[in-house]
Amino acid sequence: MSAMRSTASGVLKGDHFSTTSSSSTSEALINNGASSKFEPLVTPSWTDDTIESSTPRKVCYRVAFEIISAKSTTCQRSAAPKKKFVLYSILVKRTPGLEPHPGLIERRLLNDFPFPKKTIVGNFSPEVITERSVAFQHLLALCLSVTELRRTQQFYDFLCGRELKEARRAMRVAQFEESSIVLENVYYIQEKLLLHDSEFCSSVFRTLCVLIASLNAVNNVNDAQNYAEKAIEIIKKHNLTTHAMHNELIAAFVILCKKMFWSLAEQKQFLDTTLDEMKLKAVKVDKLPTLLELVMQKDYTSSLTMQ
């Protein structure tokens, strides 16, 4: 497992793909992808028959990455001479069937990525871009299908890190509507990959708390309530109240929920019980900052597991 995590550290860097090892894996991916057509990749996909659908029965679904577009562009941030690169739009979705809430991210390959190798001329031709797109898609599928890779901080950063930083920047200047749009997309990615995992589902809860705080800040009550219900289900299903690191966040979340769900007896009973539990754990509820103040003071989302 440690060797696999080391490989992941070399392959995944922030919102870019790079590598310092695992060349044999890269070559295998090239061989699989070089002659393929640029189409949605369904094999290998991550399958897990313990994931619950919205229906009463349990079903197996796949989570797949699909590169829906690849465009050449230039870097606008650096003062150095502008360099051209390819930006890939990646859809994260469930299959089979229609995915109502896909996640969408834009990422690029770094220059030192070894497959397929760049050509002397024509690196931005449709043929070369298609070839690299297929190989990129195969690598993402591999990371998703291997548990040790899927659970790394590096893979999490690749999928969500850029957007989480963007959301925090927006919140610092009180652009809460913008941050809520970005965080909603992050949630669409996380709930497909992490929500069923008892070890990492708290990441989804923390993202939801920041999203709910942003929505409440712009008086988007309906959406805030909708996502609050999802967060409450996570607390119930995964018993998050047993984790001391979440106590203040849960208490602040519950206090806000009591205001949003004041007329719903069923929710009110659970919220009152949870808040009493937090008080027994020495959380100073009366002096606690609001949920928005709390998530502004501390970054709850950048780490896959809270330390």
What is the band of 127 on the pLDDT scale with cuts at 50, 70, 90?
confident
- Comparing CA positions, the residue from 114, 94, 194, 196 lying closest to residue 153 is 194
Are residue 178 and residue 111 in the same domain, yes or no? Answer: no
Are residue 75 and residue 15 in the same domain, yes or no? Answer: yes
**27-65 per-position pLDDT tens digit:** 333 333 333 333 433 333 444 433 333 333 345 678 999
Are residue 131 and residue 190 in the same domain, yes or no? Answer: no
> Percentage of the chain surpassing pLDDT 90?
47
**209-259 per-position pLDDT tens digit:** 999 999 999 999 999 999 999 999 999 999 888 888 889 999 999 999 999
Are residue 89 and residue 189 in the same domain, yes or no? Answer: no
Q: Is the pLDDT of residue 307 over 60?
A: no
Tell me which of 150, 173, 195 is where a domain ends.
150
Residue 260 is predicted with a pLDDT of 93
Are residue 18 and residue 145 in the same domain, yes or no? Answer: yes
> Percentage of the chain surpassing pLDDT 70?
72
Are residue 139 and residue 199 in the same domain, yes or no? Answer: no
Residue 254 is predicted with a pLDDT of 97
Asked, for residue 306, whether it belongs to a domain, the answer is no
CATH number at residue 213: 1.25.40.10
Tell me which of 125, 150, 175 is where a domain ends.
150
Residue 115 is predicted with a pLDDT of 52
Asked, for residue 305, whether it belongs to a domain, the answer is no
> How would DSSP label each residue in the chain?
-HHHHHHHHHHEETTEE--SS-HHHHHHHHHHHTTS-S----SS-EEETT-B-SSSSB--EEEEEEEEEEEEEE--S-SSPP-EEEEEEEEEEEESS--SS-EEEEEEE-TT--SSPPPSS-TTSHHHHHHHHHHHHHHHHHHHHSHHHHTSHHHHIIIIIHHHHHHHHHHHTT-HHHHHHHHHHHHHHHHHHTTT-TTTHHHHHHHHHHHHHHHHHTT-HHHHHHHHHHHHHHHHHHTGGG-GGGHHHHHHHHHHHHHHTTT-HHHHHHHHHHHHHHHHTT--GGGPPPHHHHHHHS--SSSSS--
Structural domain containing residue 224: 156-297
**266-302 per-position pLDDT tens digit:** 788 899 999 999 999 999 999 999 999 999 999 999 9
Arithmetic mean of pLDDT over the chain: 79
Residue 120 is predicted with a pLDDT of 55
Residue 110 is predicted with a pLDDT of 61
Residue 123 is predicted with a pLDDT of 65
CATH number at residue 45: 3.30.1520
Residue 256 is predicted with a pLDDT of 97
Q: Quote the CA–CA distance of 66 and 134 in Å, as a whole number.
A: 9
Residue 108 is predicted with a pLDDT of 81
Residue 119 is predicted with a pLDDT of 57
pTM of the entire structure?
0.78
Residue 262 is predicted with a pLDDT of 83
SS (H, E, C) 193-205: HCCCCCCCHHHHH
